[in-house]
């Protein structure tokens, strides 16, 4: 990257635009579930532009295919779906969906369709779920017409055949060809690390290392040494020279995850590293570095209440990629779920659980109902939440498909509405959080810094700084070995009881215990 001066710190970042394959909005049917699972993700364009002639949806029409090309494609073909399951016609800007009296069962938006329903364009833009018979789930939605990937586009580990996913893959390939730094923005769980890995693997640096750093977990007083390295004797405890993440990523890519939680103290040094492509280790000389920096955040980096330096934000985002939450590309839910179920089943040896030609009608009906519920859910946790649900379903399904009772798959809400978990709290500054409120959130979150930050509406890094600055709080990694051993003895080896007694995160404590010789359970 060429060297620039501070004169451009107020310039906007260049946002990588999606390819121009839109072709105008179309009303598209997407197969979310089908007994022949290879067909999940196929689409049929019912209307495009201002077309308005009536359509029939049923066993023999329309024809579905991938990439939006239905010529030579196949109809649903399922014998449990009537030939005329639904009749669709326009009344001005409203779509009338009618179910003939003798047609197969249809559930629209989770409710039985007895006769007819009118759908306005706002509802169609959000998406309408259709469950036909007990074997097919479809999504009817206004969307840009799908585009077909080139063969290489599908090799990035990013699943989904929607227009959005196809364009995202093409965007990643274009961005990967250059060597600009990239900022990935999107909600928690939307796949930012997957995109970072895809950018690295598609770039000329693919043979070099990809070093991943969670900036929210780096203490402020150690951030400079962690990023840029340190020399022996530079500070108390530095008993040897240490290579920082920048040196470790030399020749490859450095992925700074949760970059919005970066300590304010280290931001000027990172800005210099990006501008000059040189770093200075703690107590050491200035050296040149050759790497690409990919960063990601789910936090706003602009605004009066943000302590993130604007110049650094623009340097990180020479190119910016914005990821949509899963609820804004529901066409991909079927394909994503099938892939995730297959991966979980393979990992646990439960391959026979998956639907296929061997499945009975009862088993297919159970899978249809599950995929229908997956489509109806709002997914506030995005793809990560979907992955967790798939993993838990597979783990619970010893004697046939079973949905654990604690899994709640509520209905989707309109775009821009509040999720089932309520509105997200506004971002606050940690200085506005009084000690009693922090203590209460710390306990209620199970002594988890991330959970505490979410509860209080503050950044995770600010929670770590609060912990570092108070003798009342600590992380599991900071518990002395003797105290940890004593707590385990008092709790008869129960890690859960020990975590509560020590007032530290259970998951973090178990991570520490896995690297120890102590007996625990």
Q: In angstroms, rounded to a whole number, what is the distance separating the alpha carbons of residues 270 and 259?
A: 11
- Asked, for residue 75, whether it belongs to a domain, the answer is yes
Secondary structure of residue 450 in the 3-state scheme:
helix
* β-sheet with 106-108: strand ranges across: 43-48, 25-33, 136-144, 128-132, 106-108, 111-112
Domain shared by 272 and 250, yes or no: yes
Using omega within 30 degrees of 0 as the cis cutoff, is the peptide bond preceding 401 cis? no
Closest by CA position to 319, among listed 17, 20, 18, 16: 16
Domain shared by 316 and 241, yes or no: yes
Q: In angstroms, rounded to a whole number, what is the distance separating the alpha carbons of residues 186 and 12?
A: 18
Q: Which of 293, 322, 351 is the last residue of a domain?
A: 322
- Asked, for residue 409, whether it belongs to a domain, the answer is no
User: What's the confidence (pLDDT) of residue 465?
Assistant: 78
User: What's the confidence (pLDDT) of residue 239?
Assistant: 65
Q: Which CATH number goes with the domain that contains 200? A: 3.40.50.300
Q: In angstroms, rounded to a whole number, what is the distance separating the alpha carbons of residues 296 and 278?
A: 22
Q: Which of 396, 412, 441 is the last residue of a domain?
A: 396
Q: Which residues pair with 119 in a beta bridge?
A: 95
Q: Which CATH number goes with the domain that contains 111? A: 2.60.200.20
Q: What is the pTM of this model?
A: 0.77
Q: Taking a C-beta distance cutoff of 8 angstroms, is the pair 321, 281 a contact?
A: no
Domain shared by 390 and 438, yes or no: no
Structural domain count of the chain: 5
Domain shared by 218 and 125, yes or no: no
Domain shared by 43 and 62, yes or no: yes
Q: Which CATH number goes with the domain that contains 464? A: 1.10.10
The DSSP secondary-structure symbol of 71 reads T
User: What's the confidence (pLDDT) of residue 4?
Assistant: 41
Q: In angstroms, rounded to a whole number, what is the distance separating the alpha carbons of residues 242 and 155?
A: 36
Domain shared by 342 and 490, yes or no: no
Domain shared by 483 and 518, yes or no: yes
Residue reference for tokens 């169609």: 124
- Asked, for residue 7, whether it belongs to a domain, the answer is no
Domain shared by 286 and 204, yes or no: yes
Phi and psi (nearest 5°) for 440?
-65, -45
- Asked, for residue 31, whether it belongs to a domain, the answer is yes
- Asked, for residue 419, whether it belongs to a domain, the answer is no
Q: Cα 479 from chain centroid?
A: 33
Domain shared by 346 and 261, yes or no: no
- Asked, for residue 515, whether it belongs to a domain, the answer is yes
Exposure class string for 270-291: b at 16+ Cβ within 10 A, else e = bbbbbbebebebbebeeeebeb
Token output for 481: 């070995």
Secondary structure of residue 337 in the 3-state scheme:
helix
Q: In angstroms, rounded to a whole number, what is the distance separating the alpha carbons of residues 115 and 287?
A: 73
- Asked, for residue 20, whether it belongs to a domain, the answer is no
Domain that holds residue 249: 151-322
Q: What is the pLDDT of residues 180-198, one digit of tens each?
A: 999 999 998 999 999 999 9
User: What's the confidence (pLDDT) of residue 147?
Assistant: 63
- Asked, for residue 45, whether it belongs to a domain, the answer is yes
Q: In angstroms, rounded to a whole number, what is the distance separating the alpha carbons of residues 172 and 169?
A: 5
Q: Taking a C-beta distance cutoff of 8 angstroms, is the pair 172, 199 a contact?
A: yes
Domain shared by 61 and 203, yes or no: no
* Regions of the chain where pLDDT drops below 70: 1-24, 67-71, 146-155, 233-239, 304-305, 410, 412-427, 461
Domain shared by 169 and 273, yes or no: yes
Q: In angstroms, rounded to a whole number, what is the distance separating the alpha carbons of residues 483 and 503?
A: 12
Question: Mean of the per-residue pLDDT values for the chain?
Answer: 85
Domain shared by 167 and 259, yes or no: yes
Closest by CA position to 41, among listed 4, 68, 22: 68
């Amino acid at each position: 990257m060429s060297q620039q001066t501070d004169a451009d710190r107020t310039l906007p970042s260049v946002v990588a635009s999606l390819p121009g394959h839109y072709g105008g909005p179309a009303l598209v049917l997407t197969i979310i579930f089908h007994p022949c699972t290879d067909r999940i993700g196929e689409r049929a364009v019912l209307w495009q532009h201002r077309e308005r002639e009536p359509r029939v949806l049923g066993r023999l029409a329309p024809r579905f295919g991938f990439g939006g090309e239905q010529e030579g494609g196949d109809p649903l073909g399922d014998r449990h779906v009537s030939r005329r399951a639904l009749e669709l016609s326009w009344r001005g800007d409203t779509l009338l969906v009618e179910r003939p009296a003798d047609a197969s069962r249809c559930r629209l938006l989770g409710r039985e369709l007895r006769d007819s329903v009118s759908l306005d364009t706002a509802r169609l833009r959000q998406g309408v779920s259709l469950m036909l018979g007990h074997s097919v789930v479809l999504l009817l939605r206004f969307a840009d017409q799908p585009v077909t990937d080139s063969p290489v586009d599908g090799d990035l580990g990013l699943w989904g055949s929607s227009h959005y996913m196809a364009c995202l893959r093409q965007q990643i390939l274009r961005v990967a060809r250059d060597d600009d730094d990239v900022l990935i923005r999107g909600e928690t769980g939307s796949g930012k690390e997957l995109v970072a890995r895809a950018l690295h693997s598609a770039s000329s640096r693919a043979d070099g290392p990809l070093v991943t750093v969670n900036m929210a977990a780096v203490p402020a007083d150690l951030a400079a040494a962690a990023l840029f390295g340190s020399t022996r004797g530079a500070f108390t405890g530095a008993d040897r020279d240490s290579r920082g993440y920048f040196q470790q990523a030399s020749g490859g890519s450095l992925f700074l995850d949760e970059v919005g939680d970066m300590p304010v103290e280290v931001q000027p040094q990172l800005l210099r590293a990006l501008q000059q492509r040189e770093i200075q280790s703690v107590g050491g000389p200035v050296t040149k570095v050759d790497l690409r920096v990919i960063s990601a955040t789910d936090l706003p980096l602009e605004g009066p209440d943000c302590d993130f330096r604007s110049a650094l934000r623009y340097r990180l985002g020479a190119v910016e990629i914005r990821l949509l939450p899963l609820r804004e590309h529901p066409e991909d839910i079927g394909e994503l779920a099938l892939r995730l179920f297959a991966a979980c089943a393979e990992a646990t040896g439960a391959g026979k659980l998956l639907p296929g030609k061997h499945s009975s009608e009862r088993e297919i009906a159970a899978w249809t109902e599950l995929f229908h519920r997956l489509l109806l859910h709002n997914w506030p946790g995005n793809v990560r939440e979907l992955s967790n649900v798939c993993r838990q379903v597979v783990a619970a399904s010893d004697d046939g498909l079973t949905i654990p009772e604690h899994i709640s798959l509520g209905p989707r809400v309109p775009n821009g509405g509040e999720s089932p978990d309520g509105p997200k709290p506004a971002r606050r500054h940690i200085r506005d959080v009084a000690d009693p409120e922090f203590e209460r959130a710390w306990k209620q979150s199970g002594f988890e810094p991330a959970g505490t930050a979410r509860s209080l509406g503050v950044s995770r890094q600010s929670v770590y700084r609060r912990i570092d600055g108070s003798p009342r709080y600590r992380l599991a990694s900071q518990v002395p070995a003797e105290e940890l051993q004593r707590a385990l003895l008092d709790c008869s080896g129960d890690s859960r009881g020990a975590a509560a007694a020590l007032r530290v995160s259970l998951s973090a404590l178990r991570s520490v215990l896995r690297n120890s010789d102590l007996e625990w359970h």
